[in-house]
Structure 1
Amino acid sequence: MASLYTVRRMLCAAADGAAAAAAAAPKGRWERLKSSKAEEGVNANWGLSPLLCAGVWCRSLLSDYREACREMVVGAWERPLRSSAYGALLAGVWACFHTNPGRCSFEAALLERSNQLGLLSAWTRSAAADGHVQSLARLREQGRLGYASLGLLSLVYRAENHGDTMLFEARCPDLAAPWRELPGRVLDVGFTGRWWVLDSKMEDYDINEEEFKQLPAHMQDTRPPGVEEVERNERLHRESWLPVAVEEEEDGPAVAAGTDRAGQESQTDAAREERT
């Protein structure tokens, strides 16, 4: 009975606190609360049942939430630009949190990049991309590839020891690497579903930079051609399929005259032979 009396007193005190807060609210809100007969009964009589006190408290709480939602809608209507900016910010935060990659995502990306490099010969693949992927795979085999999720982004860093190592040096918190050394240990950053360092290293993984070190600087540039250069190459390619035009020689009439003279000489020779 004592516990029941204590619970009843707590609920009634909560109802009185809600009624006092409602009294300090604006007039329109007080008029809505004043229309409740149950709240008038709580203010007039302490002997009401705990169930009624709980109902009054829940009703006042719902009224507060309804008033807060109404004020939020009115504020958004009065300041649309600020509301749009806040909405876009919240949507961006939610999208970053939802697309934050995990440890399994990094291991899958590392395996895929390793397979891509394995399809190329050692003379073709990029030395920088191959070295980065091989170092990550070596740390993964040693169990020293750490992962930390920060909510909006993820970090992959190099750990000192394996996660299951039971040595004193690995378990003592005083001998652990300080947090200020973490930027130097970060190997990759995961954000919006991508691992940015790994993707940047694999951008030109099928180009071996060592083959072009002996070339001049202007020939080492692998930038894509511009629009004018592409149009010029296409024009030259179309012209290469056209038939070759043969020009007539200028001494054509002279050759024809020589041919007529030779025919006349042959006719005179034939006439002399007939006479003889």
Structure 2
Amino acid sequence: MCSRRVAWRPFCVAAEAATAPVSRSKWERLRDSKAAVWCRSLLSDYKEACREVLVGAWEQPVKASVYVTVFGGVWACFHTNPDQESFEAALLGCSNRLGLLSPWIRNATSDGHVQSRVKLRNDGRLRYISLGFLSLVYRTDSDSAVMLYEARCSNLPAPWRELPQRMLDVGFIGRWWNLHSKMKDYDVNEDEFKHLPQPMRATSPPGVGEVERNEGLHRVSLLIMENVSE
């Protein structure tokens, strides 16, 4: 009987060793966890997607260039989209530039456009909307800070169909385009030239031949002055 127990003891020890839990380190348990398996599968999917994008760009370079250009343009529009503070800064800057000029040489269109926007700003009637890649500035009937019934009642706002008539400016690629166009030739008073004939109202830059002719006349006049002085 004892010899039988002695004979079975190695087999029992081996069975207990096989059924006993194997101790693993924290790193091994973390590596085999569900979160780690999910992260590895996610990284594998991203790796495969990036590989497919590179292969597709190599096989169709024109299509890839179009996509890159479009996405780059959209990102640039989002990145350079002007905000409300930039509109107010641009408006006040234009007002200051016009204020440095005499009323006799200011452009009436530029001055009227800027002063009307400044008045709306001072009255608190300017509103700003950001559409992500461009911004809009429009006017309202009253300041939102006043306690009038027309300004506080939620049922009396201006309808959206009137937004095109209330639109004042469009901000795109870091510039407010309506304000920029109205400030063109802001230091030229067109009323001073309205009595002139039509051919004399418009000026054009001189051509190459006219510039060379003027330079030749200038050199001739210098030579004459030198000869007179001698």
**Which of the five TM-score ranges fits, normalised by the shorter chain?**
0.7 to 0.9
Distance 1:196 1:132 in 2: 13
Q: What does 1:239-258 correspond to in 2, within 5 Å?
A: 239-243=220-224
Residue 172 of structure 1 and its aligned partner are, at CA, apart by 3.3
Aligned to 2:95: 114
* Amino acid paired to 1:223: S
Residue 219 of structure 1 and its aligned partner are, at CA, apart by 0.5
Segment drifting more, 216-225 vs 235-244: 235-244
Aligned to 1:136: 117
Distance 2:89 2:161 in 1: 29
Distance 1:179 1:228 in 2: 56
Divergent runs of 4+, >4 A? none
Distance 2:55 2:160 in 1: 46
Distance 1:109 1:195 in 2: 8
Aligned to 1:215: 196
Aligned to 1:238: 219
Residue 53 of structure 1 and its aligned partner are, at CA, apart by 3.1
Distance 1:227 1:198 in 2: 34
Partner deviation per Cα, 1:109-141 (whole Å, 9 max, x = no partner): 111111111111110111111111110110010
Question: Contact between 2:138 and 2:168, CA under 8 Å: does it hold in 1?
Answer: yes
Partner deviation per Cα, 1:223-276 (whole Å, 9 max, x = no partner): 323333333322222222232899xxxxxxxxxxxxxxxxxxxxxxxxxxxxxx
Aligned residues: 197
Gaps of 5+ in 1: 1-48, 247-276
* Amino acid paired to 1:75: G
Highest Rg: 1 or 2?
1
Distance 1:232 1:112 in 2: 41
* Among 46, 49, 59, the residue aligned to 1:65: 46
Question: Contact between 2:144 and 2:152, CA under 8 Å: does it hold in 1?
Answer: no
Aligned sequence identity (%): 65
Q: What does 1:75-90 correspond to in 2, within 5 Å?
A: 75-90=56-71
* Among 165, 184, 194, the residue aligned to 2:175: 194
Residue 78 of structure 1 and its aligned partner are, at CA, apart by 1.1
TM-score by length of 2: 0.78
The 1:171–1:222 alpha-carbon spacing in structure 2 relative to 1, beyond 3 Å, is farther
SS at match of 2:33: helix
Q: Are residue 74 (structure 1) and residue 55 (structure 2) matched? A: yes
Distance 2:205 2:170 in 1: 28
The 1:228–1:159 alpha-carbon spacing in structure 2 relative to 1, beyond 3 Å, is farther
Gaps of 5+ in 2: 1-29
SS at match of 1:241: helix
* Among 53, 56, 63, the residue aligned to 2:34: 53
Give the RMSD, CA atoms, in angstroms: 2.2
Greater RCO, 1 or 2 (C-alpha within 8 Å, sep 6+): 2
Residue 62 of structure 1 and its aligned partner are, at CA, apart by 2.4
TM-score by length of 1: 0.66
* Amino acid paired to 1:215: L
Q: Are residue 226 (structure 1) and residue 203 (structure 2) matched? A: no
Aligned to 1:124: 105
SS at match of 1:72: helix
Segment drifting more, 231-240 vs 127-136: 231-240
Distance 1:223 1:157 in 2: 36
Partner deviation per Cα, 1:148-172 (whole Å, 9 max, x = no partner): 1111111111122112234332233
Aligned to 1:150: 131
SS at match of 1:130: helix
